[in-house]
Amino acid sequence: MSENPIRLTELAHGGGCGCKLAPAVLQGLLAGQPAAGPFAQLLVGTETADDAAVWQVDENLAVIATTDFFMPMVDDPRDFGRIAAANAISDVYAMGGRPVMALAILGMPINKLAPEVIREILAGGASVCAEAGIPVAGGHSIDAPEPIYGLAVIGLIHPDRVRRNSGARPGDALILTKGLGIGIYSAAIKQGVLPQGGTDSAYAEMLASTTLLNRIGTELAEDPAVHGITDVTGFGILGHALEMARGSGVTVTLRLADLPWLRHAPELAERGVFTGASTRNWASYGEAVTLPEGLAEGPRRLLTDPQTSGGLLVACAPEAAEGLAARIRAAGYPLARIVGGVSAGEPRVVVAG
């Protein structure tokens, strides 16, 4: 990592998608807001807590719009920029779209950070946008007490290919494309207990996952066997699975033994390394989740762990699941696997042992 006399994570009270407001708090804030209104062209708004807004231009074209930003979860400024950019672009991929342009969102304590550090953050974000094949075409910056960086991203899609988090159907299988445990790793960084070890370090593992673009979502949306997609971020696997369950009016079952984890995440969780967001997440939606009897606190914290630039949760026809999972792994997502299924019933999440 580059040398920096001030640790970025020391300047922020939270980091990554762990900064997100707890689901219950967010619901309370949005409860009094007026509905988007009867706009026939607004295909996706706020009604199902989906990943991005979608506006239909004509019968062959729709525009996807999203924004995401947060405080640093790592101390290397370029890495911070790369992670934040990959996380923001992910929302377009989660809808099945193709990103075309980004705008930078920047808030920095300019009296505390050297200009070259801020330039590195922007350069990191621009490098991931270049990897996605899009320009950073502008943006907005402010002097802020804590470092904040992210993107507003515009994408395009055919209206028939939009994949919502509310598309899951009874009988569907669920595929997760990346490993879980990013929040636990970020907490370990702050506590100075993240395992080290050269290119095979836990940090390298985390960086490889969080900067891996979810571009497979564009390809998945072209397959009629794929019924719904969402990305797993700040509310953890339980929270985003619950959003899918509520939006689709189904019960989602996750098999604990099949969920993929980053290498050191289970051990760190057992040692009590976790984020405050994990506790807030459980307090917000725990009543809508059924856990295995006697589940220990460590595994439960893994399930509520906030992910930053996490994987895609994909609901698909059961007969296509094995082939799709293999295709996703071959496309560069080695931890992708079938992790559960969908059934008719009360909108909730059931975790099977």
Kindly give the residue spans of alpha helices, DSSP state H, lying in 224-320: 236-248, 265-270, 276-285, 297-304
Largest CA distance in the chain: 57
End-to-end alpha carbon distance in the chain: 39
CA 271 – CA 136 distance, rounded (Å):
41
Mind telling me the catalytic residues? 17
> How many Å apart are CA 321 and CA 92, to the nearest integer?
22
Q: Which residues of 71-83 are buried (b: 16+ CB within 10 A; e: fewer)?
A: bbbbbbbbbbbbb
State both tokens at 343.
């059934």
Buried b (16+ CB within 10 A) or exposed e, 51-67: bbbbbbeeeeebbbbbe
